[in-house]
Structure 1
C-alpha cells in the first residue's frame, strides 16, 4: 500500500456499541501506521466516548440519519482534508459513495450493499462471526494485523473520584460491593429481558454477596427502572437518566458487576474490565456477545432454519431462565470477586 499519512475511519453512527467494538481494529491501524493522522467519522458522541483514545486524533460527527444535503457538505469537508486511506467499518452504500466522491485514493471496506465497485479493496462479510473479528478483517486488508481482540475505553482518576463522591452522597457505602443493573434498552420488544427476571437475580445476588444496587439507563427507561428500584425494601440508587456519558463510563468502571441487556453500556463495561452478565436476543448473539474472562452472555437459540421474526425473537429472549443468569453471575464473580473498598484508582485501560 502507498505511503499513508492521513486515514479516515468510518463506523456506524446509530449505536455507541458499534464504535466500541471497532477499537481493536483502530488499534491495529494505529500500530501499523504510527505516523498517520487518524480521523473518525461516526456518532456525534464518539469523541466524548473515546476521550483519551491514543488511536484517533480528530472526530467528525455524522448524524444518525444523514440526509443527502448533509453528506454533500461532509464530502466537501473530506475532500479538503486530503485523506490517503478510507477505512469503512460500516456496510452502507452511502459511506462508500462519500469516500469515493471525496477522492480518497485507497478505500477499503466490506463488499456489501452493492458498493464493491466503489472500493479499491473489498472484504467479504461472512456471518456467523463476531463483529470485532469482522472489523479486524478490514484492518488486515489495510496491511494492519491485529494487536489483540480486546476492547478499550479510557476513564480518568478524576472522573472516577467524582462518581464515587456522588454515590457516597446518595447513600452508597463505597466499602461494600456494588451491583449495577441496566434493565432497559432501545428496541425493547426484541432486546429487553423480563423485568421480573432482573429483579429476582439482583435480589439473589444481594442476599449472597451483600450487593448494593444501582440502576443505569436512558431517561426513557424510567418506567422499568422504577419498577426494579421499588422491589428492594432497602431501596436502590436510581441513576437512570441522571448521568452524562462520561459519568456513566466512570460508574461502569467503579461497580463490581453489570447485569443487563445487550446495550452500548454493556460493551463499555467489557471494555473497562468490569464483570458483565448480559442477556441477548438470539439473532444478535454470535456477532455481539462477549463470553470470555469475567464476561458471560446468555440466550436461547432459535430453531435451525427458523426465520427471526420479532415475535420469535421476543419469545426466545424471554425464555432465558433466571437460574441460568444467576449461575453466570456466580461464574464471573469467581473470576473477578467483588472489591472490599474503593480508594484512589487509576483510569482503566485493559491489557
Structure 2
C-alpha cells in the first residue's frame, strides 16, 4: 500500500504526447488522494507542455538530452536525490525509469513489474491481464488502485491560459468560420496515415458545404504532407481566408491552443487526436492499424466520431502495411 504520509512525491511521466494526455486522470486521482503532497513530474521536454498550467502538478522536472548514458543518468539521479523524494510512482514502463529512481535513493519505488525491472522496485505491481483489451487510461489508473489509491476515471483535460486562447483566436481571425482542423500526420508510421487526397476532399467538401475554412497542422517533418494536401484542394478554396497551413510552424502549446479554437477536427490516430478531445473540440478520428478501444477518445468519446475499417487484418499494430503497398485499411 502507498504511504499516504509521503509529502514529496515524484511521478515518472510517459514519453509520448498522446500517452501523456492519457495519464492526466491518474494525476488528478493522485492530487485528490494526496491534497497536501508536493507532486513533481519527471518527463521528456517534448511532452512537458501537455502538463503546463495543470493544477494537479506542482513541479515539472525535465529529463533532457544531458541525461543520456550512464553519466547523464547519474547526473539526473543526483538532481532527484537532492530533492528528497520519499516515494516515486513510475507511470512509464521502461527499465530506465526504475533504474534512475533507484540511483537517486528514493526509498519507495512503485511501478509495474515489467521490462526486467522488478528487482529495482520496492512495490512491484503485476501487469493487468486486461491491458490489451482496456483503454490505456485504465492501465495508469489500475496502477494507483493496486497500491490503495482510489483512482476513478475523469475525462482528460488540458489547461490553457486566456492569453494562449486569445493569441490563437487572433491568428485565425482572417479565416472564415466555421474552422476545420486537419491533422494528416502520424509519427508512429505510414500505416496510421490517411491519404492526402482524402484529406483534400474533406477540405473541399467542408468549405463548399459550410462556407468556412480549413487549417492543416503537422510537425516540421510533415510539411510535405500538408503541402500535398494544399495542392490537391481545388484552386478556388486556396484563398488566404479559406485555407491555412501551420505545419511546422507551431510549438506544442500553440498547437493545443489552435486546436481548441477549431470548430471541428479531423485526425489520424496520433498525439493531436488526444489534444483535441482534451480541449473538448469535436473530432473525427481515423483508425486503421490501431484499435480505438485502446487509444481512441475515451469512454465513448462524447463529441467524437470514430472511423475504422471492417477488415480482418485491422488492427495489426504495424508501423507499415505488411500486406499491401497502399494501406488497404486506410482507403
Residue 161 of structure 1 is matched in structure 2 by: 166
Residue 349 of structure 1 is matched in structure 2 by: none
Superposed displacement of residue 144, structure 1: 2.3
Match of 2:301, SS state, is: coil
* Selected match of 2:93 from 88, 91, 96: 91
Residue 264 of structure 2 is matched in structure 1 by: 257
The whole-number CA distance in structure 2 between the counterparts of 1:306 and 1:154 is 32
Residue 17 of structure 2 is matched in structure 1 by: 16
Once the two structures are superposed, residues 35-73 of structure 1 have per-residue CA deviations (whole angstroms, 9 ceiling, x without a partner) of 111111112134433221011111111237942222111
The runs of 4+ residues in structure 1 deviating greater than 6 Å are 304-307, 313-316
Match of 1:150, SS state, is: coil
Q: 1:302, 1:316 within 8 Å by CA — same for their partners in 2?
A: no
The whole-number CA distance in structure 2 between the counterparts of 1:306 and 1:259 is 20
Match of 2:92, SS state, is: coil
Superposed displacement of residue 100, structure 1: 2.0
Residue 112 of structure 1 is matched in structure 2 by: 114
1:124 aligns with 2:133: no
Question: Normalization by structure 1: what TM-score?
Answer: 0.82
The whole-number CA distance in structure 2 between the counterparts of 1:101 and 1:320 is 46
Relative to structure 1, the CA distance from residue 253 to residue 34 in structure 2 (aligned partners, 3 Å threshold; closer, same or farther) is same
The whole-number CA distance in structure 2 between the counterparts of 1:166 and 1:306 is 38
Structure 2: runs of 5+ lacking an equivalent: none
Superposed displacement of residue 141, structure 1: 2.6
Relative to structure 1, the CA distance from residue 279 to residue 66 in structure 2 (aligned partners, 3 Å threshold; closer, same or farther) is farther
Q: 2:288, 2:315 within 8 Å by CA — same for their partners in 1?
A: no
Relative to structure 1, the CA distance from residue 306 to residue 135 in structure 2 (aligned partners, 3 Å threshold; closer, same or farther) is closer
Once the two structures are superposed, residues 90-148 of structure 1 have per-residue CA deviations (whole angstroms, 9 ceiling, x without a partner) of 11111112222222222221121122222213141431221101000112234322243
Match of 1:172, SS state, is: coil
Once the two structures are superposed, residues 230-267 of structure 1 have per-residue CA deviations (whole angstroms, 9 ceiling, x without a partner) of 21422111111122222211111111111111221211
State the number of aligned residues: 316
Match of 2:182, SS state, is: strand
Match of 1:312, SS state, is: coil
Q: 1:281, 1:313 within 8 Å by CA — same for their partners in 2?
A: no
The whole-number CA distance in structure 1 between the counterparts of 2:158 and 2:212 is 25
Relative to structure 1, the CA distance from residue 7 to residue 301 in structure 2 (aligned partners, 3 Å threshold; closer, same or farther) is farther
Q: 1:180, 1:258 within 8 Å by CA — same for their partners in 2?
A: yes
Relative to structure 1, the CA distance from residue 147 to residue 167 in structure 2 (aligned partners, 3 Å threshold; closer, same or farther) is same
The whole-number CA distance in structure 1 between the counterparts of 2:324 and 2:61 is 36
The whole-number CA distance in structure 2 between the counterparts of 1:104 and 1:49 is 26
Aligned 1:306-317 pairs, distance under 5 A = 309=318, 310-312=320-322
Question: Normalization by structure 2: what TM-score?
Answer: 0.87
Q: 2:290, 2:316 within 8 Å by CA — same for their partners in 1?
A: no
Once the two structures are superposed, residues 127-177 of structure 1 have per-residue CA deviations (whole angstroms, 9 ceiling, x without a partner) of 122110100011223432224331110112221111121122xx313xx21
Superposed displacement of residue 301, structure 1: 6.1
Q: 1:75, 1:101 within 8 Å by CA — same for their partners in 2?
A: yes
Q: 1:299, 1:316 within 8 Å by CA — same for their partners in 2?
A: no
The whole-number CA distance in structure 2 between the counterparts of 1:276 and 1:118 is 42
Structure 1: runs of 5+ lacking an equivalent: 322-351
